[in-house]
Amino acid sequence: MTTIDAIHHTGILTRDLDGIAARYTDFGFTLSPRSRHQLSAGPGEPLVESSTANQCALFGGSYIELLGVVSETAPDPWHARAMADQYEGLRILNLETDDADAAQRRLTEAGLPASGVLELERDVDTEEGVRTMRARTVHIDPRTTREALLGVSQHMTREYVHQPRYLTHRNGARGITAVLIVAADDEFDAIVDRYRRIVEVNPERVNPRTVLKLPTAQLEFLRASEVEEFLPGEPAPAPSYLAAMTIAVDDITAARGIVDGAGVETVDTAHGFFVSARDAYGSGLFFVPAAG
């Protein structure tokens, strides 16, 4: 049976990769080394540098990608520059599957136009030398998902991505446990139903949010008309958008001390604290205690 049952990664898009890397390091995240994306014109053709590079906060399961536009002239197959022109911030949500082919079939059956399975690979440095990271991913047509660049991915070599040397974070971060999606009121039911069809989980009401609960995380939806009450003063970059993610940490007091020490305002929540998207490069950050 196909499963699409976890958050694979989120992505924050920016034209200031140096700045966001410094800010998230100050928040206590360990980041992987900067990696420039490369591509070729076709099989056997030489690799050339693309317009983007990234650094990642890796947790063993999920991860946060800090995606930077680092060239205004290099090839841009993912249209990152156009996305950044619209707005920078939390733009990418990838869910995880154990079978990309079956995931593609499920998306097709659910009436969601998708790319077909894309084979991805790149060389990465490991403590044992250079290894080839491989993954298989399906991109949902972004014209149908205005709230996010949405995809479903399958790790083939997870160990080369989530290397142990990058998994220990000064703030005690353990993973992404939720992503909050704000939906325009007139699109709300359709957006929730889209994700219901993808993950095959029925929505639950957890006031004021509607929630799809996965085994290790959840997708949360909030009507745009209710944002000001739930997240007062937060920026709204589009009618529907990815607003925030929730990070589980070992010690909420210690994590808050690190963020406070970075000179960033934190706000009390029912289970931890919140950092505004204004201070986190366009992604609100909820910090909560890790379960167990």
Q: What percent of the chain shows pLDDT beyond 70?
A: 96
pLDDT of residue 121: 77
Q: Is 174 helix (H, G, I), strand (E, B) or coil?
A: strand
Which secondary-structure segment (H or E) carries 90? strand 89-97
- For the chain, which domains are there? 4-166 (3.10.180.10), 173-289 (3.10.180.10)
CA distance 28 to 38: 29
Give the DSSP letter string of 40-79: -SSTTPPPEEEEEEEEEEE-SS-EEEEEEE--SSS--TT-
pLDDT of residue 39: 66
Distance of CA 51 to the CA centre of its chain: 19
Distance of CA 256 to the CA centre of its chain: 22
pLDDT digits (tens, 9 = 90+) for 199-232: 999 999 998 999 999 999 999 999 999 999 999 9
Residues recorded for the chain: 292
Q: Model's pTM, two decimal places?
A: 0.94
User: Pick the residue with more confidence: 48 or 239?
Assistant: 239
Question: Is the pLDDT reported for residue 1 higher than 60?
Answer: no
Residues 6+ apart with CB under 8 A from 45: none
pLDDT of residue 29: 98
Identity of residue 88: E
Bridge partner residues of 272 (DSSP): none
pLDDT digits (tens, 9 = 90+) for 244-284: 999 999 999 999 999 999 999 999 999 999 999 999 999 99
First to last CA, the chain: 29
